[in-house]
Chains A and B, each alone.
Chain A
Amino acid sequence: MAAQRTARARLQGAGFDRFLPYLLLAPAVLLVLAVVVYPLVYGVQTSTKFYRFGTAISDVGFAQYRQAWNDPLFRGALWTTLKFVTAAVAIETTLGLGLALLCVRELPFIRTLRMVLIVPMVITPVVVGIVFRLIYASDVGLFTSLSGLVGGGSIGILDNERGAFWGLVFLDVWEWTPLIFLILLAGLQSLPQEPFEAARVDGAGTWRTFVDHTLPMLTPVLVVAIVLRSIDAFTTFDQVYVLTHGGPGTATQLISIYGYDTFFRFQQYGYAAAMLLMVALIVLACAFLGIRLIRRQAATA
Chain B
Amino acid sequence: MTPEMPTEDSAPRGDGALSRRDLLLRTAAGGAGLAAAPLLGTTPAFARASGGAAADAGKLVVGAFTDGAITVWKKIIPLFKQQTGISIQLLTEPYDSWFAKAFQDGQSKAGQFDIYIMDDPWVPQYAAAGILEDLGQHGIVGDAGFAKPFLELGYWPPRSGPRIKGFESKKPALVALPTIGDLQTMTYRNDVYKTAPKTWHELVTVGEAAMKAGTIQDAIVFRGVKGNPIVTSWYPIFLSYGGKFFDNNWKVTFNSAQGKAAAEFFVGKLKSLAPKGVAEYDSDQEGAAILGGKAGAIIQYTGNAIKSDDPKLSKEVGKLDFAVVPKQAKAIAQIGIFIHGVSTSAPNKDNAITFMKWFATDKAQTALASFGDVPVRIKPLKNPALIKKHRLLPTVLAQINAGAEARPRTPDWGAVESILGTELNKALVAGKGGGDALDRAATQATAYLKRQGYYS
Contact = CB atoms under 8 A, between A and B. Distances in A.
A137 B280 contact: yes
A45 interface: no
Given A245-B225, A247-B225, A249-B426, A266 B276 contact: no
Contact of B277 (A158, A246, A247): A158
B280 A265 contact: no
B414 A158 contact: no
Contacts of A156: 276-277, 279-280
Contact of A249 (B128, B130, B278, B429): B429
Contacts of B418: 261, 265-266
A154 B275 contact: yes
Interface string B216-245: 000000001111000000000000000000
Nearest to A57: B453
B263 interface: no
A265 B100 CA distance: 7
A109 interface: no
B107 interface: yes
A187 interface: no
Contact of A160 (B99, B103, B279, B423): B279
Contacts of A154: 275-277
Interface in B193-228: 224-227
A139 B285 contact: yes
B129 interface: yes
A66 to B, nearest CB: 12
Contacts of B294: 139
B288 interface: yes
Interface string A240-256: 00001111111000000
B429 A264 contact: no
Interface string A157-169: 0111100100000
A22 interface: no
A249 B433 CA distance: 13
Interface stretch (A2-10, A27-35, A48-56, A215-223): A48-56
Contact of B125 (A140, A164, A267): A267
B9 interface: no
Interface string B412-428: 10110010001101101
Contacts of A264: 96, 99-100
A222 to B, nearest CB: 37
A156 B277 CA distance: 6
- Which secondary structure dominates chain A's binding surface? loop
A214 interface: no
B332 interface: no
- Category for how many chain A residues contact B: 20 to 34
A268 B451 CA distance: 11
Interface string A260-273: 01001111100000
Interface residues of B, number: 39
B452 interface: yes
Contacts of A55: 107, 129
A159 B453 contact: no
Contacts of B280: 137-138, 156, 158-159, 164, 244, 247-248
B411 interface: yes
Contact of B279 (A54, A140, A159, A261): A159
A153 interface: yes
Contacts of B423: 249
Nearest to B428: A248
Contacts of A248: 225-226, 279-280, 425-426, 428-429
B289 interface: yes
Nearest to A164: B280
A265 B99 contact: yes
Nearest to A154: B276
A237 B429 CA distance: 23
Interface string B112-145: 0000000000000100111000000000000000
Contacts of A245: 225-227
Nearest to B429: A248
A247 B425 contact: yes
A216 to B, nearest CB: 46
Contacts of A137: 277, 280, 285
Contacts of B414: 265-266
A158 B226 CA distance: 11
Interface in A66-80: 67, 73
A52 B167 CA distance: 13
Contacts of A244: 280
Contacts of B285: 137, 139
A52 B449 CA distance: 12
A153 B276 contact: yes
Contacts of B426: 248-250
B103 A267 contact: yes
Contacts of A265: 96, 99-100, 414-415, 418
A210 B103 CA distance: 57
A33 B107 CA distance: 26
A159 to B, nearest CB: 4
Given A158-B280, A245-B225, A248-B226, A138 B275 contact: yes
Q: What are the nearest 8 A-B pairs in CB distance?
A: A138-B277, A247-B226, A156-B277, A249-B426, A158-B280, A159-B277, A159-B279, A264-B100
Given A54-B103, A138-B277, A161-B429, 7 more contacts: A53-B130, A246-B226, A247-B225, A250-B426, A264-B96, A265-B99, A268-B415
Interface of A: 52-55, 67, 73, 137-140, 153-154, 156, 158-161, 164, 244-250, 261, 264-268
11 contacts: A53-B128, A138-B276, A154-B275, A156-B276, A158-B279, A161-B429, A244-B280, A245-B226, A248-B225, A248-B279, A267-B125
